């Protein structure tokens, strides 16, 4: 008898500040940790106002660098995800999977590879040839189209991926994205020569995620009162 597919709830948060999104992620992680007999796998989909974020290797970004970036009109956050500095902003589809890897495979390396394959397959649906590289994320040639940075504790995942749809790429010129010198960034819109919105991209992301992780997705609702 084949095991049942894992069920994953899809929560669309819309445009939400990065700080608030961190709080929502913590809430969904806590649901996993507090529940003994119920699974709470979720995909949190959102878009952020302009914000620069850094991961656990924070020594490279002193207070002066933080202030410089804030003066550009963006927020700045230090987080517990992997990876170096990146930008989130309007036109970028951000996906935070809050998953219990016990429902899938208890391997962080496997999980990151599956996220990469999910985005590669999404790009394929648009006719874009994307690939991985020795650096984490998804690339079109030497340009990163999707950044990936995750946290995993007790096999519960948080943070996730950020796919450039019709992002203002100028924001990336103020940093060395993900700390990788000599590489660029791109977007679905830039590659296709037409506007590709977040709204257009979401169904394709959900389809490729469901296929890659062999799970069933169902729509959920998030209440600000939670």
Cite the active site residues: 178
Residue 67 CA to residue 134 CA, distance in Å, equals 31
Determine if residue 208 is labeled as part of a ligand binding site.
no
**DSSP-based three-state secondary structure for 217:** strand
Residue 161, annotated as binding a ligand: yes
- Are 149 and 105 within 8 A, CB to CB? no
From 42, 49, 39, select the one nearest 12 (Cα to Cα): 42
Residue 15 assigned as binding residue: no
Is there a binding annotation on residue 87?
yes
204 has binding-site annotation = no
Residue 162, annotated as binding a ligand: yes
∠ at Cα 106 (105, 112), nearest 5°? Answer: 75
Which residue from 27, 26, 3, 32 is spatially nearest to 104, judged by alpha carbons?
3
**211 membership: H or E segment, kind and range:** helix 198-213
Residue 88 labeled ligand binder: yes
Q: Residue ranges for the binding site for substrate? A: 81-88, 147-149, 160-162
Q: Residue ranges for the binding site? A: 81-88, 147-149, 160-162
């Amino acid at each position: 008898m084949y095991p049942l597919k894992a069920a994953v709830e899809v929560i669309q948060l819309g445009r939400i500040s990065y700080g608030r999104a961190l709080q929502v992620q913590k809430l969904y992680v806590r649901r996993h940790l507090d529940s003994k007999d119920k699974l709470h796998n979720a995909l949190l989909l959102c878009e952020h106002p302009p914000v620069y974020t850094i991961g656990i290797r924070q020594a490279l970004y002193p207070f002066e660098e933080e202030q410089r970036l804030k003066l550009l009109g963006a927020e700045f956050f230090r987080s517990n995800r992997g990876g170096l500095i990146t930008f989130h902003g309007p036109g970028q589809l951000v996906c935070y999977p809050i998953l219990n890897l016990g429902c899938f495979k208890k391997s962080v390396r496997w999980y990151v590879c599956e996220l990469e394959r999910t985005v590669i397959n999404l790009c394929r649906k648009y006719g874009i040839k994307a690939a991985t590289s020795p650096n984490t994320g998804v690339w079109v040639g030497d340009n990163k189209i999707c950044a990936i940075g995750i946290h995993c504790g007790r096999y519960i995942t948080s943070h996730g991926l950020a796919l450039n749809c019709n992002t203002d790429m100028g924001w990336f010129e103020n940093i060395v994205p993900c700390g990788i010198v000599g590489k660029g960034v791109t977007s679905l819109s830039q590659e296709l020569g037409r506007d590709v919105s977040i709204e257009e991209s979401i169904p394709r992301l959900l389809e490729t995620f469901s296929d890659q992780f062999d799970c069933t997705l169902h729509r959920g609702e998030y209440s600000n009162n939670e």
